[in-house]
């Protein structure tokens, strides 16, 4: 008796539902992601064999260019109660009040400028010039805003700093850093400031030591005697 041949059928998988899920996930990540601003200067950190990791929250990074320009960035807690945006907003309010105590020309910021500052990640201008920078960012003129913090295009880029031990007349770098003590964060953040875990210096490997020393002296004047140097990991021989 002959074998009955079974007719082969093509297998068809409907991918419409999968495509819809993919688009929804992509849209979700695009709307909820926070894009980091590029750093004003490119820094190639020196190599080391240290394996201590810099924390990814409750961290203040001090970026030092080879020519001595100083920039700051602040990352808050992963807890939404003390998020980066809330801590940056509090930092701006504290710095504004302290700046107006010591400088003849007071500064103020609009509500929109404050919101923009809370969302930005880089601080790299004199406080008196910060409003112009925030206006450009708020208008999505990112390229023009970046030009203000670019030392190659703007000689006034960077937070003003000098060798100053008189906290009765603090420089602007000292005002920014000293305000960290009063930020409304979890208890761990204040403890990390004291222990040095929350402060990281990031300098180019070609940066002269005397340039970095100015930053370290300013930190020590503020009783911030412990901090971390960011390095690139290399293989130990």
pLDDT at 211 > cutoff 90: no
> Is 201 contained in some domain?
yes
Residue 186 banded pLDDT, cuts 50, 70, 90: low
Q: For the ranges 56-60, 135-139, 174-178, 199-203, which has the lowest average pLDDT?
A: 56-60
Q: How many CB atoms lie within 10 A of CB 72?
A: 19
pLDDT digits (tens, 9 = 90+) for 14-49: 666 676 777 777 776 565 555 455 566 666 676 666
> Is 31 contained in some domain?
no
Say what the pTM is.
0.78
> Is 211 contained in some domain?
yes
pLDDT at position 31: 59
Contact at 8 Å (CB) between 82 and 184? Answer: yes
pLDDT digits (tens, 9 = 90+) for 52-101: 677 778 889 999 988 889 999 988 887 777 888 988 999 999 999 999 99
Helices (H), 9-149: 16-32, 84-102, 111-119, 130-138, 142-149
pLDDT at position 227: 86
> Is 4 contained in some domain?
no
pLDDT at position 114: 95
Q: Strands 59-64 and 199-203: what pairing? A: parallel
Residue 101 in 3-state DSSP? helix
Tokens 């010039």 appear where?
Answer: 129
DSSP readout, 126-142?
A: -GGGHHHHHHHHHTT-H
> Is 19 contained in some domain?
no
What are residue 151's phi and psi, to 5 degrees? -60, -25
Number of structural domains in the chain:
1
> What's the domain range around 68?
43-233
């Amino acid at each position: 008796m002959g074998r009955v041949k079974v007719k082969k059928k093509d297998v068809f998988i409907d991918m419409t539902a999968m495509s819809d899920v993919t688009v929804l996930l992509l849209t979700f990540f695009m709307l909820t992601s926070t894009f980091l601003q590029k750093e004003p200067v490119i820094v190639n950190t020196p190599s080391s064999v240290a394996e201590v990791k810099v924390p990814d929250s409750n961290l203040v990074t001090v970026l030092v260019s080879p020519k001595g320009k100083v920039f700051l960035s602040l990352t808050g807690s992963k807890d939404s109660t003390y998020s980066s945006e809330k801590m940056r907003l509090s930092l701006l309010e504290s710095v504004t009040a302290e700046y107006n105590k010591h400088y003849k020309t007071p500064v103020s910021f609009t509500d929109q400028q404050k919101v923009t500052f809370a969302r930005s990640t880089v601080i790299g201008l004199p406080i008196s010039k910060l409003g112009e920078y925030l206006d450009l960012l708020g208008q999505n003129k990112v390229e023009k805003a970046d030009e203000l913090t670019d030392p190659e295009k703007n000689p006034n880029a960077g937070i003003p700093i000098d060798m100053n031990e008189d906290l009765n007349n603090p420089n602007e770098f000292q005002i920014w850093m000293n305000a960290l003590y009063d930020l409304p964060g979890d208890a761990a953040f204040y403890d990390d400031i004291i222990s040095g875990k929350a402060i990281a210096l990031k300098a180019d490997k070609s940066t002269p030591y005397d340039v970095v020393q100015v930053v370290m002296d300013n930190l020590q004047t503020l009783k911030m005697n412990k901090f971390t140097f960011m390095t690139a990991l290399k293989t130990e021989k």
